[in-house]
Structure 1
Amino acid sequence: METHPRNSSFSSCSAYLRALAHTPARVSRRALSVSTSYEEMSRVRAKSGSDMRKTLRWYDLVCFGIGGMVGAGVFVTTGHASRLNAGPAIVISYAIAGLCALLSAFCYTEFAVDMPVAGGAFSYLRVTFGEFAAFLTGSNLIMEYVMSNAAVARGFASYFGTAIGVPTAKWRLKVDGLPDGFNEIDVLAVAVVLVITFVICYSTRESSVVNMILTVLHILFIAFVILMGFWKGDPKNFTEPGDPKNPSGFFPYGAKGVFNGAAMVYLSYIGYDAVSTMAEEVKNPVKDIPIGVSGSVIIVTVLYCLMAASMSMLMPYDMVV
């Protein structure tokens, strides 16, 4: 149904004030109201406009999931968790975190197959806990993706500057009046976000191709690290620290350290949930979504465990900077 501009809450100042006055009543009426899967599939989808084109298959979803999880920051997380928490047992930490991510992925798969809509966790909570819980979750997800994308883009800018030998300060604009640490705009990071946004908005099919290319590059880089670790690494580093005064053995900090490490590296798995938001664009949701969500988590878990093992062999855990 088409909404006329004159009926919008933002059509005029008086209309906005009237809508603002009605907000408490609307919140009390809708906060605990629960939607149904039928409404999400019909009425809510109809309000969003034209239907999305169903162009994605299971391999697209696997690549989206891997691309959403795998990033250069995983190397920083691995070293930090290994040195402070798990030691060489960081391999077990990644396996535990991967199992937890897989169990969560099963939940997303169940909902996405039952309701193949683009709402993701927002829609799932609308039919279970009501609109208020869905609103809070949706807001948190938006903040999560905004901040994580900004951090990744800025990290890319730093890596790129180091690779070409140019200080990142040369392309950062300083804004006077803001606190230190929050007063610099990274022009390259902003450009990266805008380019990726344009690719995503242009077409799902084209963005899937770009994601596949970037995912392949990520996997090749991780495979290179794994190969070098098993080829050039020393298995003694699994049990012997660089400094004899530090705890030794495969579990230098015990079971507590392994689980603390798992909690830290779990951040490396964040991103698989985004696959469920593409359910509305999948050709065969019943078949493709389970393979796409669960398959991407399993593949990434294997890659992370092998990478953690190779990094542990390359250098003693207590010498990681």
Structure 2
Amino acid sequence: MKRSLRWYDLVGFGIGGMVGAGVFVTTRRASRINVGPSVVLSYAVAGLCALLTAFCYTEFAVDLPVAGGAFSYIRVTFGEFLAFLTGANLIIDYVLSNAAAARGFTAYLGTAMGISTHTHLRFTIHGLPEGYNEIDIVAVAVVLLLTLVIYYSTRESSWLNMVLTVLHILFIVFVIVVGFWRGEWKNFTEPENPKSPGGFFPFGASGVINGAAVVYLNYIGYDGCTSSRKWR
């Protein structure tokens, strides 16, 4: 294949894979349902797990100088069958994570436009089970658009990835700055509703671990980026 990416393109893919749109989708759900204010510790736990996994990939890359990725390493180490299961699991992982991020885009779009997401941007199929009966046309359009960009050119997709990654980082910095500026420390210890659990650990240590399992979705991109050596 023709070499079309440079070192900073690969760095951009790596950062974009770890600082993607998922951070804006999973953080709200994890902090509200699973962990509370201690979601910052959930991110630390998830980041540590991702770091240890990256060290394992480094060892594999040194011992097995082939195209990076869990499929290639497991195929060489354990055989074709386990590699097939790993590849299938990775495909499901990427499909579900991309679907979650695209669906979250619809929710944010509806909020920005001041309209109801469920009545204006999603269509309900009453014959399907509850929770699986909403057709999200906007999410499908976003996924198809990004797929066309990636299919059209690797260089253009890298450029789009860098632009979106910069925007994501700016949004995260904005949230941090506004949080320190407008936030109140009492929110860490006093619940808004006295009947609801409050404090920094409203759901205890188990809540931190459960939250880490949810926000780990934001780190899965590094796995795909390990195979970027062959894209050059």
**Residue 150 (str. 1) matches residue 102 (str. 2):** no
> Which AA in structure 2 matches 1:241?
P
In structure 2, what is the Cα distance between the partners aligned to 1:154 and 1:248?
30
Secondary structure of residue in 1 paired with 2:78: coil
Match of 1:214 in 2: 164
- Judge which range, 103-112 or 166-175, deviates more: 166-175
Secondary structure of residue in 1 paired with 2:77: coil
Indicate which of 137, 159, 162 corresponds to 1:187. 137
Kindly tell me the number of residue pairs found equivalent between the two proteins.
Answer: 230
1:126, distance to aligned residue in structure 2 (A): 0.5
Conservation of the 8 A alpha-carbon contact between 2:123 and 2:134:
yes
Cα 1:180–1:237 change in 2 (3 A) is closer
> Which AA in structure 1 matches 2:58?
T
Per-residue CA deviation, residues 101-159 of structure 1 (Å, 9 max, x unaligned), is 111112223334543526x2111111011000011111111122223222322222232
1:63-82 matches, cutoff 5 A = 63-82=12-31
Cα 1:179–1:265 change in 2 (3 A) is closer
1:73, distance to aligned residue in structure 2 (A): 4.3
Secondary structure of residue in 1 paired with 2:191: coil
**Residue 92 (str. 1) matches residue 41 (str. 2):** yes
Conservation of the 8 A alpha-carbon contact between 2:66 and 2:72:
no
Taking structure 2 as the reference length, the TM-score comes to 0.83
Stretches of structure 2 that go unaligned for 5 or more consecutive residues are none
1:114-133 matches, cutoff 5 A = 114-117=64-67, 120-133=69-82
Per-residue CA deviation, residues 50-85 of structure 1 (Å, 9 max, x unaligned), is x3525231x323322332233444345334433444
Match of 2:220 in 1: 270
In structure 2, what is the Cα distance between the partners aligned to 1:74 and 1:167?
23
Match of 1:164 in 2: 113
1:274, distance to aligned residue in structure 2 (A): 1.2
Conservation of the 8 A alpha-carbon contact between 2:3 and 2:231:
yes
Over alpha carbons, which structure has the higher Rg? 1
Conservation of the 8 A alpha-carbon contact between 2:71 and 2:84:
yes
In structure 2, what is the Cα distance between the partners aligned to 1:249 and 1:190?
39
Instruction: Say which structure, 1 or 2, has more relative contact order (CA 8 Å, 6+ apart).
Output: 2
1:99, distance to aligned residue in structure 2 (A): 0.8
Match of 1:224 in 2: 174
Secondary structure of residue in 2 paired with 1:127: helix
